[in-house]
Amino acid sequence: MRLADRRRLLASGMKEMRRRLRLRIAPYRVALSAPLTSVPERLIVAPTDLRPVDPFIAHEILEGRFPLAGRVLETLGDSPFELELPSRAFAERLHGFGWLRHIRADRTEAGCAHARHIVSDWINIHGRRRRGIGWEPNVVAIRVIAWLSHSTIILHAAEAGFYRRFMKNLAYQISYLRKIAGSCPDAESRLRVRTALAMASLSLPTRVSGIKRESLLLDRELDRQILADGGHVSRNPRAILDILIDLLPLRQTYINLGHDVPQKLIPAIDRMYPALRFFRHQDGDLALFNGAGSTSASELMSVLRYDESAGKPFKALPQMNYHRLSADNTIIIADTGCPSSIAASRGAHAGCLSFEMSSGRNRFIVNSGSPKFANRFYKHLARSTAAHSTVIIEETSSSRVISSSFAGSILIPGVSKIDFERWDDKHGNDWLRARHDGYVESFGYAHEREIALSAAGDKIKGCDRLIPEEGSGKDSLTAIVRFHIHPAINLFRRDGESIVLGAPDGETWIFAAPGLDVLIDEDVFFADVSGIRPSQQLAIEVPVLGLREIRWMLRRSE
């Protein structure tokens, strides 16, 4: 490991140690302030939850089965919190109580009583333990939002004793969040904590000064995280959707109760909607960059129906560093950026200059995406350059993912400089050219990619170049240009240089690389709603020495 990388890792590790220390002492700080914290007598409002409801999941939970995070836990009458849980992702979702929303689909006396019984179990078992997954900042914030939003289900026909225990534990969790708000492992968690605290200040009896204080703190976090172009500092398209799902009910709660809306809240939401539409493909799904995984259509539509912004998506997000080329029904989205800091790289991928392409109602070329519920090995693999539709040299990622017990999983940026230019030619074709230095230090080459979309949207020209920096390029290197194909697309070989890409609805595109062998290889797609599934990829393998350029093209077939 390079000395500079060691220093970055050491600094990140020290910061992580301080964060963990603050989390450890947080319960003691809350205990010291407990005499000053009164137990709220009632809830003022239950904020809306925009996430979709599934009656099947409600039925399963009432039958003692929890289908969460791609696994099913059979309780056989026992408390789920006393059983060994199938995975960490399962535990996060179980302790987060976001599944309470499904009980709305079966809002019977029995359903509410069952939900209340599970909440009571959690308070008895974990309410005082204050450690483990159930007390991680993001999980606590999700649980507070869920308990507030679905309090009408939990507290329906509840006895006075349970009502007071519930309110007391909820008040403790809110106090806990206040103490750890600055100790979250990533930016999105910090914003969710601030959102939960602002929502709690509205939902519980709170002085006006307290509501204003939480509004101001939320404003500060929105300022830090929501970029001028509406993107998020993580550069993850999915993060925009998740944040909007939390912020929209919060905005409406402020308005319904007649409180002043935080100054930054509405402008942030207004900026985020165009950014969300920027990443939306023709089939309705979001592009798969920097940690984005599968997105359910119902979840996306539940947010987009509140979109009051007008006009076509932007051609670029300059702060988030993405470009979008579109014509007719064809869309290309390209990544021309890298993490702004080590802190922002915890979910970042080494996919600089990768792109995705969709046409009609189909995604044709994609990145592999991020698996929601897989183990560390697959998540690490999904972050590599090889999992993206771009060039890789010697199967080495342009930026490296490094994991340690103290620093966590961060991206050490091999890419430090990216240059790009965008123009339209005299025929109306849209051009993007970009170059990154991710392979200069390791191999002595810069990667330059050029993509052009025709004015009619029926042709795409591409060219990849590996440019030696001041004659320092190493010999005997191999480069591979990968194009990951969406699992729904079928591939048929025409000849050694061209491949037919056929969609289920009959739309076809021809991929060709004149003078080069195009291989069809096995692949995996991490971002399917059903989990990891097999797919295919196109690969062009070439020696780097003496290479001038790798030209390829796509054209719609009639």
CB 235 within 8 Å of CB 337: yes
* Confidence band for 323, pLDDT divided at 50, 70 and 90: very high
Strand order in the sheet with 445-453: 418-424, 430-436, 445-453, 459-468, 550-557, 508-512, 498-502, 490-495
Cβ-Cβ contacts under 8 Å for 199 (sequence gap 6 or more): 47, 144, 145, 148, 249, 250, 253
Give percent of the chain above pLDDT 70.
Answer: 91
Mean pLDDT of 457-463: 96
How far is it, in rounded angstroms, from Cα 99 to Cα 533?
25
Q: At what angle do helices 160-180 and 137-149 cross, to 10 degrees?
A: 140
pLDDT at position 37 is 60
pLDDT at position 28 is 58
Which residue's structure tokens are 């390791």? Answer: 442
- Give the containing element (helix H, strand E) for 551: strand 550-557
Nearest to 513 by CA among 492, 502, 499: 499
Q: What is 143-191 written as a DSSP string?
A: HHHHHHHTHHHHTTT--HHHHHHHHHHHHHHHHHHHHHTT--SSHHHHH
Cβ-Cβ contacts under 8 Å for 429 (sequence gap 6 or more): 452, 453, 454, 455
pLDDT at position 549 is 92
Alpha carbons within 13 A on the beta-carbon side of 379? 16
Mean pLDDT of 12-26: 67
**Which tokens belong to 256?**
């319904």
pLDDT at position 27 is 67
| Model confidence pLDDT, tens digit, residues 273-288 | 999 999 999 888 999 9
Residue 413 has pLDDT above 90, yes or no: no
| Model confidence pLDDT, tens digit, residues 327-372 | 999 999 999 998 877 767 778 899 999 999 999 999 999 999 999 8
pLDDT at position 526 is 94
pLDDT at position 8 is 61
pLDDT at position 2 is 58
Nearest to 184 by CA among 141, 125, 230: 141
| Model confidence pLDDT, tens digit, residues 156-215 | 989 999 999 999 999 999 999 998 888 887 889 999 999 999 999 999 999 999 999 999
Residue 30 has pLDDT above 90, yes or no: no
CB 198 within 8 Å of CB 215: yes
Give percent of the chain above pLDDT 90.
Answer: 71
* Residue type present at position 227: L
Residue 10 has pLDDT above 80, yes or no: no
pLDDT at position 107 is 80
Q: Rounded to 10 degrees, what is the CA torsion of 419, 425, 429, 432?
A: 0
pLDDT at position 372 is 84
Q: Which residues pair with 331 in a beta bridge?
A: 326, 358
How far is it, in rounded angstroms, from Cα 145 to Cα 449?
44
CB 393 within 8 Å of CB 443: yes
Residue 472 has pLDDT above 80, yes or no: no
* Residue type present at position 12: S
How far is it, in rounded angstroms, from Cα 183 to Cα 29?
14
How far is it, in rounded angstroms, from Cα 51 to Cα 92?
17
Residue 12 has pLDDT above 70, yes or no: no
pTM to 2 decimal places: 0.92
How far is it, in rounded angstroms, from Cα 170 to Cα 148?
9
Considering the chain, what is the average pLDDT of its residues?
A: 90
Query: What SS3 state is found at 249?
Result: helix
| Model confidence pLDDT, tens digit, residues 216-268 | 999 999 999 999 999 999 999 999 999 999 999 999 999 999 999 999 999 99
| Model confidence pLDDT, tens digit, residues 206-228 | 999 999 999 999 999 999 999 99
Cβ-Cβ contacts under 8 Å for 269 (sequence gap 6 or more): 244, 247, 248, 251
pLDDT at position 317 is 97
Mean pLDDT of 414-434: 93
Q: Comparing 131 with 231, which gets the higher pLDDT? A: 231
How far is it, in rounded angstroms, from Cα 425 to Cα 452?
10
**Which tokens belong to 294?**
């599968």
Q: Comparing 75 with 403, which gets the higher pLDDT? A: 75
**Which tokens belong to 122?**
């959690």
Residue 473 has pLDDT above 80, yes or no: no
| Model confidence pLDDT, tens digit, residues 518-528 | 999 999 999 98
Nearest to 343 by CA among 500, 235, 417, 231: 235
* Confidence band for 471, pLDDT divided at 50, 70 and 90: low
Q: Is 551 exposed, middle or buried (0-12, 13-18, 19+ CB in 10 A)?
A: middle
Cβ-Cβ contacts under 8 Å for 305 (sequence gap 6 or more): none
Residue 375 has pLDDT above 90, yes or no: no
Residue 406 has pLDDT above 60, yes or no: no
Alpha carbons within 13 A on the beta-carbon side of 531? 7
